Amino acid sequence: MEKRDYYDVLGVRRDASDEEMKKSYRKLAMKFHPDKNPGDRDAEDKFKEAAEAYDVLRDSQKRQLYDQFGHEGVKGTGFRGFSGFEDISSTFGDIFEDFFGFGTRRRRSSARRGTDLRYDLKLSFKEAAFGKETEIEIVKPVRCDTCEGSGSKPGTYPVNCPGCEGRGQVTRSQGFFMISTTCHHCNGEGKIIASPCKECNGTGKIERKKKVSVNIPGGVESGSRLRLRGEGEEGIKGGISGDLYVVLHVEDHPFFEREGNDIICQIPISFTQAALGAEIDIPTLNGTKKINTPKGTQSGHIFRLKGEGTYNLRGGPRGSQIVQVIVKTPTKLSKKQEALLRELAKLGGEETPPKRRFFKNN
C-alpha cells in the first residue's frame, strides 16, 4: 500500500510550524487512540499513520530529508513502530502526558528540597506593636553523622531494589502501550537500605535542637508569618534546605484594643471634670500622657494622640491612640451632694424631681 504524504496525514501545510503540527497530531491521537476505539482496526492504522508522520516531521533533519526526497529520504531513519517502552517515551511522552492522564517520565533526580517547618510564637500586645528581636529554639532533622546521611550502617551500601531491579520504575501494560510508573518499594530511587544505620534507623537524619534568631518588625498582627529561608529541614542528596515559618499569635491587652495601626481605649471621667474641664492622665504604650478636657465635655467625646499607636509595617508613620471619654454618673450621693445638685438643677431651670407625665394609650 502506497504511503500518504505526511503533511496530508496531519492535515497541515508544508510550511506549518512545529506547534501547528503538534496541535494537529494531538487531535488525531485523541480521535484514533486504540483505547478509545477498541477493536477498530481502521482507527488503529490511522493512529499509527499519524504517529509515523509526526515522528518524522517533528525532527528538523528528518523533515528536511523528507521535503527533498519524500519517503525514500527517511527510510531507516523514520518511525520504527512501537517496539518498546523507550520508543514511546522518547517520541510521544509529552502527548501521552497531556492527553491520556499518564506520563512516561524517566527516573527523577535524587536531589530533593528539604521540608518546610513551622514554629508558633506568642507575643504580648506591646511586643507586636513595637517589634522585638528574640531567639527561639527549634527541633529539626539534620544529617546523621554516623552514616553521613546515607541511612546505611557504616561499611555497608544500599542495594538494588528487588521490586524494580534498580531501575526506579516498573513497567505495566495498558491497552496498546507499555506504561512505566515509579516503583513504590524504593520511591524511584532504585536502591534500598539492607543494613540500616542504628543511629538514625536508616532515615539518614536525626533530630537536633537549634537556636534561631528572629527579628520581629513592629506592627505585626495575629496570623502574621515570618519566613526564615534555609532554616527548615535539610535537603536530600544535595537538595536545598526548606524554610522555617514563624507564625505569630498576639495576646489580648486588658485595656487597649487595636484597629489597624491605631490603639483604642476608654477613659472614665467624673461629672465635675466633664463640666468644668480638667487635666487627666492617659495610659499609653509609652507611659502616661496628660490631656486637657475642655469645659462641657460630653460622654463619648474622642481625643486623638498622634504617634502613640503601633509601628507601620510598610514604613509609614505610627498610628494614633484613640481616647474616648466616658462621663460617670455618681450612684451614691451624700445629703449635702444631693442638695448641691438640686440647687444646680434649680439654677438651670430643671425640675427636681421631674413631674410625672402620663401618656394615654391611643
Q: Where are the domains of the chain?
A: 6-99, 109-152+202-252, 257-347
Residue that is written with C-alpha cell 480521535 in the block: 31
pLDDT at position 357: 53
Q: Residue 268 half-sphere exposure, CB side, CA atoms within 13 Å?
A: 5
- As a CATH number, domain 6-99 is 1.10.287.110
Tell me whether the CATH fold assigned to 6-99 matches the one assigned to 109-152+202-252.
Answer: no
The grid cell for 174 is 495498558
CA distances from 166 to 104, 282, 290 (A): 17, 75, 79
CB burial of residue 156 (10 Å; 0-12, 13-18, 19+):
middle
Report the distance separating Cα 32 and Cα 48, nearest Å.
9
pLDDT in tens, the chain (362 residues): 678 899 999 999 988 898 898 899 988 988 888 778 888 888 888 988 998 989 889 888 888 888 877 887 777 654 544 433 333 444 444 454 444 444 444 445 567 888 899 999 999 999 999 999 999 999 988 888 998 888 899 988 888 888 888 888 887 766 556 677 888 888 888 888 889 999 999 888 899 999 999 999 999 999 999 999 999 988 877 788 999 999 999 999 999 999 999 999 999 999 889 999 999 999 999 999 999 999 999 999 999 999 999 999 888 899 999 999 999 988 888 889 888 888 887 887 776 565 555 555 54
* Residue 188: closest CA among 170, 172, 168: 168
- Kindly report the number of other CB atoms within 10 A of residue 61's CB atom: 10
- What's the CATH architecture for 109-152+202-252? Sandwich (2.60)
What pLDDT is attached to residue 3? 83
* Model confidence pTM above 0.75: no
Q: CA-to-CA distance for 150 and 210, rounded, in angstroms?
A: 22
Architecture of the domain made up of 257-347: Sandwich (2.60)
* Nearest by Cα to 56 from 29, 25, 31: 25
Predicted pLDDT at 252: 95
Q: What is the pLDDT of residue 102?
A: 46
